[in-house]
Amino acid sequence: MTDAAAEAGSVALKQAYVGVDIGGTNTVIGIFDHSRQLLKKKSIPTLLPHLPKSTDLPATFFDLLRDEIFLLAQEADCSDGLALCGMGVPGIVDPVRGRAEAASNLGWFGVPFAEQMSSRLGVSVCIDNDVRIYALGEVIAGAGHGYRNVLCLTVGTGIAAAIFADGRIVMGGDYFAGEIGHDPVDGAVGVCICGRQGCVESIVSAKGISRMAREAVERDDVSTSLRSLNQVPTAFDVYTAATEGDVVAQGIFRYVGEVLGSKLLTAVCLLNPDAVIIGGGVAEAGELLLGPIRDKIDERYVNAKKPAILKAKLGDSAGLIGAVSFAQQHYRAERKECET
């Protein structure tokens, strides 16, 4: 036997542990080994076929996802096939039945997601809400590592939260826990996508920041560098202007942080978390956002020990690590049930 052949013979067969993070625009697939080391990652567009009825299955998307997973597992040299698969799905998700109950951005209502993907992949597929999955990733391997009581928020296009109490994720009776986007803010008048006025999401989100910047630019009595952009400022434009000393842009971030801090103060009083983690695109603003949140909580939270207010650490890997961890936990729990 040649050295090369001997070496090839000694290579153990490798199984793929699959994590998938489905977003409104892109879907990210991660292939891990059994110890959750990321081997390969790929982002694909969340291409959705036109669905005549909201109850129709997005079969084309399921087929595309299956093909991409198998291809990526092959590229990661996982010659022993797939071991398991976990997925984060936006909207209201029933993780017990594996159903996407209401992902309005994607037009999915009552879709038996886990069953459909499991039959295509030939392994167990577990799904949960994308923010709970993201939070699990941050708690296992990111900013929340070592904490048992954690509030985790994502602030991007919209806003959502996940809650860990005594080390366990809180789902709520209808898996609706953490859906704080449409909680009203006193005195706020911005129109939200839900049609109501003054929702948290109409302020604490990329689109809320953009809207407030546009309103500032439209006022003749406001002096801001954002006006020179000659387009509606994005949240990133506002962030850039704030870091360059624009007082109006800094004021927008302070207001956003204070609104979020006020909402979080109530949650902190109710749950007594060790840490509050803020992730998502808007959290990239760092202390511009986190500072006012911390100030608001420190100012009124009477407990001597304040929660740590932390920026998420893992970026888009949080959703992948969370998804694969969720599937592993599910798999272990199922095995335990079989053994007893």
Positions touching Zn ion (CB under 5 A) are: 182, 192, 194, 196, 199
Q: Closest distance between Zn ion and the C-beta of residue 151, in Å? A: 20
Q: How far is CA 1 from CA 8, 12, 13, 79, in A?
A: 11, 18, 20, 22
Can you tell me whether residue 161 is helix, strand or coil?
Answer: strand
Q: What type of residue is 80?
A: D
Least CB distance from residue 259 to Zn ion, whole Å? Answer: 14
31 DSSP β-pair partners = 18, 40
Residue whose CB is less far from Zn ion, 186 or 299: 186
- CA-closest candidate to residue 318, choices 127, 91, 84, 142: 142
CA distance 293 to 100: 32
CB of 250 to Zn ion, least distance (A): 26
Residue 134 C-beta: closest distance to Zn ion, Å: 21
Q: Which is nearer to Zn ion, 205 or 224 (CB)?
A: 205
| Contact indicator for 201, 159 with CB cutoff of 8 Å | yes
- Nearer to Zn ion (CB atom), residue 185 or residue 324: 185
Nearest to 287 by CA among 264, 257, 260: 257
- Residue 202: Cβ-neighbour burial (10 angstroms; 0-12, 13-18, 19+): buried
Using CB atoms within 10 Å of the CB of residue 228, give its burial: 0 to 12 exposed, 13 to 18 middle, 19+ buried: exposed
Helix or strand or coil: residue 88? Answer: strand
State the angle between helix axes of 247-271 and 287-300 in degrees (0 to 180), rounded to the nearest 10: 50
Among 148, 116, 29, CA closest to 78 = 29
Question: Rounded to the nearest whole angstrom, what is the least distance from the CB of residue 181 to Zn ion in the complex?
Answer: 6
We find the least distance from the C-beta atom of residue 192 to Zn ion, in angstroms, to be 3
Q: Kindly tell me which of 5 and 189 has the beta carbon lying closer to Zn ion.
A: 189
Contact 154, 180 (CB under 8 A): no
Closest to Zn ion by CB, 18 vs 192, is 192
Kindly state the smallest distance separating residue 176's Cβ from Zn ion, in Å. 14
Nearer to Zn ion, 196 or 306 (CB): 196
- Cα 164 from Cα 99, distance rounded (Å): 22
Q: How far is the CB of 236 from Zn ion (least distance, A)?
A: 23
Tokens of residue 247, six digits: 């007082």
Cβ distance to Zn ion smaller for residue 167 or 184: 184
Report the interhelical angle of 235-243 vs 287-300 (nearest 10°). Answer: 80
Instruction: Compare residues 66 and 182 and give the one whose CB is closer to Zn ion.
Output: 182
